[in-house]
Amino acid sequence: VQAAFRNDLAHLLELIGTGKESLSFMKKRIRHLAQQWLRAARRLEQKLKGRQRDQKQILIHIGFLTEESGDVFSPRVLKGGPLGEMVQWADILAALFLLGHSLRVTVSLKELQSHLGVPPGRGNCPLTSPLPFDLIYTDYHGLQQMKQHMGLSFKKYRCRVRVIDTFGTEPAYNHEEYATLRGYRTNWGYWNLQPTQFMTMFPHTPDNSFMGFVSEELNKTERQFIKSNKVSSMAVVYGKEASIWKVGGKEKFLAILNKYMEIHGTVYYETQRPPEVPAFVKNHGLLPQHEFQQLLRKAKLFIGFGFPYEGPAPLEAIANGCIFLQARFNPPHSSLNHEFFRGKPTSREVSSQHPYAEDFIGKPHVWTVDYNNSEEFEAAIKTIVRTQVDPYLPYEYTCEGMLERIHAYIQHQDFCTTSSSALPPKAKSPAMQSPASVLALSPNTTHLVWSPSASRDPRAWPPVDSLQVWVSEARHSCTETCRQRGLVCEPTFFRFLNKKDVFLQLSITCDSTEYEMNHLYPAVAENVHECYLQKEPLLFSCAGYSTKYRRLCPCRDYRKGQVALCRDCL
């Protein structure tokens, strides 16, 4: 069946169900953004005119909202608890629905079992009939529940699963045997999925797919209006929970800020003003999402105190014409040195409260400074008060951008067929059978580019024409190596360069070449002329570096404002 774009969100609201504050929050959000979503769907429909799109049967199982996993989020929706995940799920639901797929939504174990066809009263048995879904979007909690209740069928069907994973899962933590051997300890990892089956809230690592969410969009009139009504002395503090005010040294930087600006907050409180919030701060209490946006429209500055990490609010602030000021973390925070990230399946180094804002947006919208350096902090405030900025929203966070991206994933990502586009988790060293086409790489002085004369596999996605092979410096990851060249690391291309010939083409001398399991391979230990190839395709990883190796990195181009897609990827 062909999928038809939908032009009404009413039926989706029914599908979501009732009975939890988190569900009400999500429905309110969908209702509020409905017009914006519908306009975007019409634009994408025009863009894709006539393109064949299959309608998928999709199960959306939001594990963290089930009672069985504790549902700690729902009771905190109105109390300043995290909303980022609910923002994202609401947007995923809207996007999948508008693209015309057939959806089932579950937030309890019982519903999950009945949709999967698990016989009542039994668990951990193979399903009695074939799984009625082409795709299952869930999270780590849901994944655990599915594993527990599907028995052997879990292995068979796990290629249909997409895991919404806020902060990301790096390949080294995903591979059970390797993670165990090498001490990549985590509370969540070890699933042996294809790393791109994990979908993140921001484009944290190219090893995962970037799912994202949306922010409110403004038309020209609204922009104009916002710009002329900005109160240049008004600052809003990022954070709904009183605990964020416990940050060390806050007296000093708040006193500086207060010299130039009136400070507002949206900190949750029950009856009394939270004692952590100083008296000179105008606290509005936790606001409903659309009122929070109205506040941002007036404010000049949105200021972060270091927590929460990597949430949606800074994008909303920037989209409403605020400048976002945040603390640089030196040294960076990560699972190795910070409680919040400990046990998360990634060693990504978080260089500020919001690295996406820092790296993908930057000045004049985003200022990342050392809060312990009073001069630097004060200079930033002084400049910000004088600086005019336009509201800005990266295309990938617009409704059209998100629809376009999810459409591309659904059309092209296939982890079930063992074709060239997705290697099976446990095939006999498929990493060794590199495709013949790689021989057509034509050498350049410093790197390799794909030769157009190469026979190309039309099913391969992203199309291999966008591949450029670069050799990293020692101590550099492939993520970084590609980024330095205005490109992005593309893990699906590793299989094209995991090959002895490629070293030769790059004029790298190899006295020996070995296949081993290591998430940094293919790589060369330059001073000893030892070359290494990857034995386990699940360990192909853009993340990771070492002083010992220069890595072979598969980079590709990307669309401006849509890093998930290469130029010819739609």
- Interface residues with ligand U2F (CB under 6 A) are 82-85, 87, 166, 201, 240, 266, 286-287, 289, 292, 308-309, 311-313, 316
CB nearer ligand U2F, residue 292 or residue 371:
292
CB nearer ligand U2F, residue 292 or residue 329:
292
Closest CB 200 distance from ligand U2F, rounded Å: 10
C-alpha distances out from residue 253 to 157, 256, 282, 305, 473, Å: 53, 5, 17, 10, 38
Closest CB 350 distance from ligand U2F, rounded Å: 10
**Residue 71 backbone class (left: φ over 0; alpha: ψ -120 to 50; beta: rest):** left
Closest CB 290 distance from ligand U2F, rounded Å: 8
- Per DSSP, helices labelled H in 413-548 are 478-484, 494-497, 500-505
Closest CB 247 distance from ligand U2F, rounded Å: 14
Q: How far apart are CA 273 and CA 314, in angstroms?
A: 24
Largest Cα separation within the chain, whole Å, is 73
Question: Which SS3 state, helix, strand or coil, does residue 339 take?
Answer: helix
- Phi and psi torsions of 301, nearest 5°: -125, 140
CB nearer ligand U2F, residue 208 or residue 492:
208
Length of the chain: 570
Exposure of 335 by Cβ count < 10 A (0-12 exposed, 13-18 middle, 19+ buried)? Answer: buried
CB nearer ligand U2F, residue 357 or residue 553:
357
Q: Give the nearest residue (CB) to ligand U2F.
A: 84
Closest CB 246 distance from ligand U2F, rounded Å: 15
CB nearer ligand U2F, residue 240 or residue 556:
240
Q: How far apart are CA 233 and CA 487, in angstroms?
A: 39
C-alpha distances out from residue 155 to 193, 375, 421, Å: 10, 57, 19
Closest CB 61 distance from ligand U2F, rounded Å: 18
User: For residue 383, what are its two tokens?
Assistant: 């400049």
Question: Which SS3 state, helix, strand or coil, does residue 103 take?
Answer: strand
Residue 116 host element (H or E): helix 109-116
Closest CB 402 distance from ligand U2F, rounded Å: 14
Beta strands in 49-101 (DSSP E): 57-61
CB nearer ligand U2F, residue 87 or residue 299:
87
The answer to whether the CB of 514 falls within 8 A of the CB of 502 is no
CB nearer ligand U2F, residue 138 or residue 498:
138
Closest CB 363 distance from ligand U2F, rounded Å: 21
Question: Which SS3 state, helix, strand or coil, does residue 234 take?
Answer: strand
Closest CB 179 distance from ligand U2F, rounded Å: 23
CB nearer ligand U2F, residue 170 or residue 241:
241
Closest CB 403 distance from ligand U2F, rounded Å: 19
CB nearer ligand U2F, residue 287 or residue 440:
287
Residue pointed to by tokens 């130029």:
567
The answer to whether the CB of 402 falls within 8 A of the CB of 214 is yes
Question: How many CB atoms are closer than 10 A to CB 133?
Answer: 21
